[in-house]
Amino acid sequence: MGVQAEIEFPVIEFRSADLERGTDGWHRLCKRVREACETFGCFEVAYKKISTEVREETFGLMKELIEVPVERKQKNASPMPYHGWVGPCNQVSLLYEGFGLGDASNYDSVKSFAQLMWPDGHPRFCNTIHTMATQIEELNKLIWLMLIDSYGLGEKWESVMINYKTLVRFMKYMAPPPGEYERGLFAHTDKPVSTIICDDHVSGLEIEVNDGQWIKLSLSPSSFCFVVGDPLKAWSNGRLKAVNHRVMMSGDKDRLSLAAFAIPVEGTIIKAPRELIDEQHPQLYKDFNFMDFFLFAFSDPAKHIDSGEQLQAFASLSPPISN
Ligand SMILES: O=C(O)CCC(=O)C(=O)O
Ligand SMILES: [Fe+2]
C-alpha cells in the first residue's frame, strides 16, 4: 500500500515554560506525550534547547566523517548489534551507511571514536558531538519522566527509571537512481528502549500507522522524532506502541540522520511497574534482562521472526497474569 498523508501525526512543542515538573503546562505535555506514544508509538518534538548551531555543526561534521577512508571506518567495529560501522550491503541497503558511538555523552568515548577516524582526534568533532549527545540524552530523560508522570508513577520515578547509556548512530542514505523510490532501511521496531532521531531536513523516515499504511515524516529544523522501542512497550505492559518504521529514499539528495538510542546498563531487568498491572491489564510479558532480548533479536533464530513480533516471541506470557 502507498504512503498516506492525511493522518495527523503528533507534533508536540516543548516550551521551556512547560518543562517545570508539576506545573499545569507540564501535565498537559505529559498527557500529550503519553497519548502520542500509545497511539502512534512516536511523535515529533519541537525542542529549541538544542541550538540550530549545534545541530548544523553536527551534520557538517558527519559530512567529514563520511569522507574518512574506508580502512579507518572499519576500525569502528563491534560484535554488538547497532554499535559498529556498516557500509552499503544487501542485508541492510546499498544506500545505507552507519557508524556507532557508544556511551556518547561520555567525552572519553567520543574521543576514542574520533581518534580511530582522524590522526589528530578532531577536537571540534569531540566537543560538538559530546554536546549534542548530552543534550539529546537530557531530552530523552525528560520524555521518560513525562511518561512516568503520565502513569501516576511520579513519586517512585527513581525506582522505575531505567539506567542507560546513549548510543549514537550517524547515518547516511544515498539518493536512489533518478525517479526511483528505494529502501534505505528495512521496516523494524527498535530494540533499544527508545530512540531520538534527527535529520538534515532531507526526509526519508516513514512510520506505519495502520497495517500497511505508511506516512513519511518531515521534521522541522528544530524537531526530533521520539520513537518507542520494544523494551519500553514491555515496561508499559503493552500500553505504549513500538512503532514499525523504515527509511525510503527518493529524489536526488543524500540524507544524513543521527539516532540516539537508549541502551540500558549491564544487568538491567525490563519489568512493568506493578501499578501498570491489574485485572483489566494483566501482565503481558515476563521480566527479562535487556541484553538477553537485545542479543536474541539479532540471533539466527530471531532473523526469521518479523521485527515487530520479536518481543512477543521472546517475552510473552500466555496466558497473561493478572496482579
Ligand atoms: O535514519 C532514520 O531516520 C531512522 C533510523 C532507524 O530507524 C534506526 O537506525 O533504527
Ligand atoms: Fe529504528
pLDDT in tens, 96-152: 999 999 999 999 999 999 999 999 999 999 999 999 999 999 999 999 999 999 999
Give the pLDDT band (50/70/90) at residue 320: confident
Mean of pLDDT values over 12-37: 97
Q: Is the pLDDT of residue 4 over 70?
A: no
Q: Is the pLDDT of residue 5 over 60?
A: no
Ligand 1: residue whose CA is nearest its atom 1: 257
Mean pLDDT across the chain = 95
- CB neighbours of residue 47 within 10 Å: 24
Give the pLDDT band (50/70/90) at residue 7: confident
Domains of the chain, residue spans: 11-315
166-218 pLDDT, tens per residue? 999 999 999 999 999 999 999 999 999 999 999 999 999 999 998 789 999 99
How far CA 92 is from CA of 183, 243, 246, in Å, comes to 9, 19, 11
Burial class (CB in 10 A: 0-12, 13-18, 19+), 242: buried
CA 309 to ligand 2 center in whole angstroms: 15
- Ligand 1 contact via 247 beta carbon (within 6 Å): yes
CA 127 to ligand 2 center in whole angstroms: 26
211-254 pLDDT, tens per residue? 789 999 999 999 999 999 999 999 999 999 999 999 999 999 99
Q: What is the pLDDT of residue 161?
A: 87
Beta strands, E only, the chain: 11-13, 42-46, 96-101, 164-173, 182-188, 194-199, 205-210, 213-216, 223-228, 245-249, 255-264, 269-270, 283-285, 288-289, 316-321
Residue ranges of alpha helices (H) inside 45-122 are 52-66, 70-73, 107-117
Q: What is the pLDDT of residue 318?
A: 81
- Ligand 1 contact via 245 beta carbon (within 6 Å): yes
Give the pLDDT band (50/70/90) at residue 3: low
Mean of pLDDT values over 146-168: 93
Give the pLDDT band (50/70/90) at residue 2: low
- Ligand 1 contact via 205 beta carbon (within 6 Å): yes
**Which cell numbers hold the place of 269?**
531487568
Q: What is the pLDDT of residue 211?
A: 76
Give the pLDDT band (50/70/90) at residue 157: confident
CA 20 to ligand 1 center in whole angstroms: 30
CA 245 to ligand 2 center in whole angstroms: 6
Q: What is the pLDDT of residue 46?
A: 98
Residue to probe by mutation, ligand 1, list 191, 245, 256, most atoms within 8 Å of CB: 245
Higher pLDDT, 5 or 292: 292
Of ligand 1's atoms, which has the minimum distance to the CA of residue 195? Answer: 10
Q: What is the pLDDT of residue 212?
A: 85
- Domain 11-315: state its class: mainly beta
Cα separation, 236 vs 270, whole angstroms: 10
Neighbours of ion ligand 2 (CB under 5 A): 190
CA 173 to ligand 1 center in whole angstroms: 10
Q: What is the pLDDT of residue 226?
A: 98
Residue 120 CB contacts under 8 Å (≥ 6 apart), including other chains: none
